[in-house]
């Protein structure tokens, strides 16, 4: 589910960017006056003498965007029950970081606007735009590992929930008690249907629409109802019984294909997956590729002529929003990450280091969707409205540039994880100090023409990306073997040493390479409980003979240091240090050269 979400959000960035550019071009074209006129066109529904009317912008902001926040509710429910938010230790750090990433930007904004006409816009710079952030991280590519995307996604979910609470509490002007009571009754009806396990879509659609209208009339923004309904949607892991029934139905269709068997197979397979996941699968593309771009088209248009830009340069609102996003988010998220780690409230997902986290904190200053949403709620003055939008555009663009620079400076250094003291003054040797022997972990033929020795760390993100590359090289070259030696970077990766111990425990049972592959396939999950689970899958006692395994790992580390290893991964081909890029083509060329020289 996480990977599907990441692909959809990152892939929709170009559509969202295109809608934003189109809105700006439209608002600044010779026909710019039609932009506001079009989005203020009234449209409604009438039943006899009763009528319900909104202009197009409010249908988008209050109606379509409720679907967007409904999806956030679905994601929260899924992640809490089955996903990233199950492990409270992994949630603590991004949750505090999200809180810091809202508190500090609001403070920065108020430094420029407290007591002024724009004071109510303090909520504008507090929210991170998930789609734009994930899109930029997709461009950053290898410098941004999957654990950072998972960390930022968790942060964004918490950020969205806090933003919706702020909208409900601070941006509600008036309350209609009768409408609020009707909304409460309808919400109770939805909860009752869920409790009775009645899953008829028409009932939920009718109740949901009525609840949306009642909430809108009550004065509370209907996006709050969107996220509440999403959280209420039932989510569960497929049971063995349902999987068995689905498998039997598919097998029956395979053996005797028919329309009836196909319908039954589809029905049983569908029932094995929770309603939450099915709704996410169906609605995510609509939200990412249609609803959010339409929202951008309806709200991002702002006049950018000389007069407007000159006013924005000196406007406390524009400056407060831009600096809130650029500096407030960076400082707030960085401090919010450091504090829980310092106090040992939680852990990072697997193998993140500060260079990556600072880059992630910088790009989190890209605020767009929810920021524009709050602009519409915070400002009635069209001048302040436009200045806030200019601040959003400027702050988001500068945050993207800052994040790109940090990733470039911190992690474009050859793709190696290394401790702070990894650059010794002496000239490093380039030959393997300890030849491959009987005690090594070897994958491949004993009489291979080319031997690749890898000094690796199970928590190192670069080792994780190298893993499938080395597998591909072994698959394509039957005369190549791989030798793995442990080199856990304890200062950077606290879970690497325990993972190495568990791998050695598996080696005692002749299953080192199976555990090796499991650990690299699950780098974000290397807690003691995770390691014990992996060991149980292979019928291995994870903590048997720990002193002996620690000694064995120490021998690998000593041989690595004597060979000039200072970071991971470090490769040796036929005893000579490999100095090239860690990609398939470069390593393949080095293997061919080593083969010719052997």
Q: What does the pLDDT look like over 212-248, one tens digit per residue?
A: 888 877 777 777 777 778 777 777 777 667 777 777 7
Q: Which of the given ranges, 8-22, 297-311, 373-387, 537-551, has the highest pLDDT on average?
A: 537-551
Residue 351's nearest CA partner among 487, 534, 496 is 496
Give the residue carrying structure tokens 């709704």.
279
Please state, in angstroms and rounded to a whole number, the distance separating the CA atoms of residues 549 and 543.
9
Q: Which helix (H) or strand (E) holds 450?
A: strand 450-456
Say yes or no to pLDDT of 503 above 80: yes
142-163 pLDDT per residue, tens: 455 566 766 777 787 778 778 8
Q: C-alpha angle 285/43/45, rounded to 5°?
A: 95
Neighbour count for residue 448 (Cβ, 10 Å): 21
pLDDT for the residue 147: 66
498-503 contacts: CB < 8 A, separation 24 or more? Answer: 498/526, 498/528, 498/531, 499/458, 499/459, 499/526, 499/531, 500/458, 500/549, 500/553, 501/542, 501/543, 501/546, 501/549, 501/550, 501/553, 502/531, 502/534, 502/535, 502/540, 502/542, 503/458
Stated length of the chain: 598
Of 123-127, 248-252, 408-412, 483-487, give the range with the top mean pLDDT: 483-487
Task: State yes or no: pLDDT of 581 exceeds 70.
Answer: yes
Q: Predicted confidence band at 424 (pLDDT cuts at 50, 70, 90)? A: very low
Phi, psi values for residue 508, rounded to 5°: -60, -25
More confident residue, 488 or 254: 488
Between 590 and 403, whose confidence is greater? 590
- The mean-pLDDT minimum among 31-45, 438-452, 506-520 falls in 31-45
Alpha-carbon dihedral angle through residues 488, 490, 496, 497, given to the nearest 10 degrees = 80
Mean pLDDT of all residues in 159-173: 77
What is the average pLDDT across 159-185?
A: 79
Contacts of residue 224, defined as CB under 8 A and 6 or more positions apart, other chains included, come to 69, 164, 167, 168, 215
- What does the alpha-carbon distance between residue 474 and residue 481 come to, in Å, rounded to a whole number? 7
3-state secondary structure 149-203: HHHHHHHHHHHHHHHHHHHHHHCCCCCCHHHHHHHHHHHHHHHHHHHCCCCCHHH
Is residue 455 within 8 A of residue 560, CB to CB? The reply is: yes
What are residue 50's phi and psi, to 5 degrees?
-85, 135
Q: What is the pLDDT of residues 256-291, one digit of tens each?
A: 888 888 888 888 877 777 777 778 788 878 887 888
Asked if the model's pLDDT at residue 426 lies above 70, the reply is no
Specify the pLDDT at position 451. 96
Reported pTM: 0.59
Q: In this predicted structure, what is the pLDDT of residue 539?
A: 93
Residue 5 has pLDDT above 50, yes or no: no
CA 85 to CA 90: how far, in whole Å? 7
pLDDT reading at 311 higher than 70: yes
Q: Which residue has the higher pLDDT, 496 or 357?
A: 496
Q: What is the mean pLDDT of the chain?
A: 82
Q: Which pLDDT score, from 0 to 100, does residue 352 have?
A: 63
Q: Which pLDDT value is given to residue 103? A: 93
Residue 255 or 595, more confident? 595
The confidence band for 189, taking pLDDT boundaries of 50, 70 and 90, is confident
Is there a contact between 365 and 133 (Cβ–Cβ < 8 Å)? no
- With tokens 């409604």, the residue in question is 44
Better-scored residue on pLDDT, 4 or 24: 24
The pLDDT, as a whole number, for residue 427 is 66
pLDDT at 145 (0 to 100): 59
In the three-class reduction of DSSP (H, G, I as helix; E, B as strand; rest coil), residue 411 is classed as helix
Strand 50-55 vs strand 570-573: parallel, antiparallel, or unpaired? unpaired
Q: Is the pLDDT of residue 369 over 50?
A: yes
Kindly tell me if the per-residue pLDDT of 415 is higher than 70: no
User: Using 50, 70 and 90 to split pLDDT, how confident is the model at 349?
Assistant: low
Structure-token match 């790109």, residue found: 404
Distance CA 507, CA 512 (A): 4
441-443 and 50-55 strand pairing:
unpaired
Q: 139 vs 424, which has greater pLDDT?
A: 139
The least confident of 56-70, 128-142, 316-330 is: 128-142
* Whether residue 411 has pLDDT greater than 60: no
47: CB partners within 8 A, 6+ apart: none
Q: What is the pLDDT of residue 423?
A: 45
Check pLDDT > 70 for residue 412. no
User: 84-123 b/e with 16+ CB inside 10 Å = b?
Assistant: bbebeebbbbbbbbbbbbbbbbbebbbebbeeeebbbbbb
Between 471 and 201, the higher pLDDT residue: 471
The alpha helices in 201-272, defined as continuous H runs, are 201-218, 223-232, 240-255, 259-272
What was the pLDDT predicted at 205? 79
% of the chain exceeding 70 in pLDDT: 86
List the structure tokens of 20. Answer: 């934003």
Complete domains list, the chain, with CATH: 2-39+51-172+221-237+274-411 (1.20.1530.10), 441-597 (3.40.30.10)
Closest C-alpha among 48, 40, 43, 42 to residue 382:
40
pLDDT of 384 higher than 60: yes
Helix (H) or strand (E) holding 97: helix 88-113
Query: How far apart are the C-alpha atoms of 470 and 482, rounded to whole Å?
Result: 8
Structure tokens at 553: 């790992």
The answer, yes or no, to whether residue 357 has pLDDT greater than 70, is yes
**CB-CB contact of 482 with 443 (8 Å):** yes
From CA 361, how far away is CA 200, in angstroms rounded? 43
What is the rounded distance in angstroms from the CA atom of residue 90 to the CA atom of residue 5? 19
Is pLDDT of 73 > 70?
Answer: yes
Is pLDDT larger for residue 571 or for residue 209? 571
> Alpha helices of 28-64 — where are they, by DSSP H?
33-39, 56-58
Q: Tell me the pLDDT band of 3, cut-offs 50, 70 and 90.
A: very low
Bridge-based pairing state of the strands 450-456 and 480-486: parallel
More confident residue, 213 or 439: 439
Give the pLDDT mean for 578-588: 90
The three-state secondary structure class of 84 is helix
Q: Quick check: 572 pLDDT over 90?
A: yes
pLDDT confidence of residue 525: 85
Give the helix/strand (H/E) hosting 8.
Answer: helix 2-11
């Amino acid at each position: 589910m996480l990977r599907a979400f990441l692909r959809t959000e990152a892939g929709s960035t170009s559509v969202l960017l295109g809608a934003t550019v189109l809105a700006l071009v439209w608002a600044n074209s010779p026909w710019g006056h039609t932009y506001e006129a079009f989005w203020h066109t009234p449209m409604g529904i009438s039943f006899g003498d009763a009528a319900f009317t909104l202009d197009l912008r409010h249908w988008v902001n209050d109606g379509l965007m409720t679907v967007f926040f409904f999806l956030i509710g679905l994601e929260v429910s899924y992640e809490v029950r089955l996903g990233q938010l199950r492990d409270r230790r992994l949630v603590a750090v991004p949750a505090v970081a999200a809180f810091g990433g809202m508190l500090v930007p609001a403070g920065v904004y108020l430094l420029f606007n407290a007591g002024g006409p724009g004071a109510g816009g303090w909520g504008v710079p507090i929210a991170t735009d998930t789609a734009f952030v994930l899109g930029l991280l997709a461009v950053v590519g290898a410098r941004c590992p999957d654990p950072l995307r998972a960390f930022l996604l968790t942060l964004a979910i918490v950020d969205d929930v806090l933003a919706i609470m702020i909208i409900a509490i601070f941006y509600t002007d008036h309350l209609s008690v009768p409408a609020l009571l009707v909304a409460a009754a309808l919400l109770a009806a939805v909860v009752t249907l869920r409790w009775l396990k009645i899953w008829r879509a028409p009932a939920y659609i009718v109740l949901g629409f009525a609840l949306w209208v009642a909430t809108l009339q009550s004065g509370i923004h209907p996006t709050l109802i969107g996220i509440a309904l999403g959280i209420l949607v039932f989510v569960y892991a497929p049971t063995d019984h349902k999987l068995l029934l689905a498998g039997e139905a598919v097998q029956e269709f395979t053996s005797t294909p028919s329309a009836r068997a196909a319908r039954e197979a589809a029905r049983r397979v569908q029932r094995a997956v929770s309603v939450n996941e099915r709704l996410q699968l169906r609605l995510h593309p609509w939200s990412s590729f249609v609803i959010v771009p339409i929202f951008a088209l309806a709200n991002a248009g702002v006049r950018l002529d000389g007069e407007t830009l000159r006013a924005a340069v000196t406007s406390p609102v524009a400056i407060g929003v831009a600096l809130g996003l650029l500096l407030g988010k960076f400082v707030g998220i960085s401090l919010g990450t450091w504090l829980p780690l310092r106090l040992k409230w939680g852990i990072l997902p697997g193998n993140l280091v500060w260079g990556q986290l600072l880059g992630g904190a910088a790009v989190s200053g890209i605020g767009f969707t929810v920021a524009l949403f709050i602009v519409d709620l915070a400002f009635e003055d069209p001048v302040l409205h436009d200045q806030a939008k200019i601040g959003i555009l400027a702050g988001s663009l500068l945050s993207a540039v800052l994040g790109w620079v940090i990733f470039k400076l911190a992690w474009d250094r050859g793709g190696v994880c290394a401790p702070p003291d990894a650059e010794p003054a002496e000239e490093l040797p380039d030959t393997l100090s300890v030849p491959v022997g009987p005690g090594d972990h070897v994958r491949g033929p004993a009489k291979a023409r080319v031997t690749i020795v890898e000094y690796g760390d199970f928590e190192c993100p670069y080792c994780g990306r190298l893993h499938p590359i080395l597998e591909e090289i072994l698959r394509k070259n039957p005369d190549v073997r791989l030798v793995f030696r442990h080199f856990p970077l304890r200062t950077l990766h606290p879970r690497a040493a325990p993972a190495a111990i568990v791998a050695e425990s598996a080696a005692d049972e002749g299953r080192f390479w199976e555990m090796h592959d499991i650990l690299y396939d699950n780098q974000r999950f290397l807690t003691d409980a995770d390691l014990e689970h992996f060991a149980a899958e292979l019928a291995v006692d994870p903590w048997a003979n720990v002193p002996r395994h620690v000694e064995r790992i120490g021998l690998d580390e000593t041989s690595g240091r004597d060979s000039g290893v200072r970071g991971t991964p470090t490769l040796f081909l036929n005893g000579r240090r490999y100095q090239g890029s860690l990609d398939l083509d470069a390593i393949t060329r080095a293997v061919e050269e080593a083969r010719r020289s052997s």
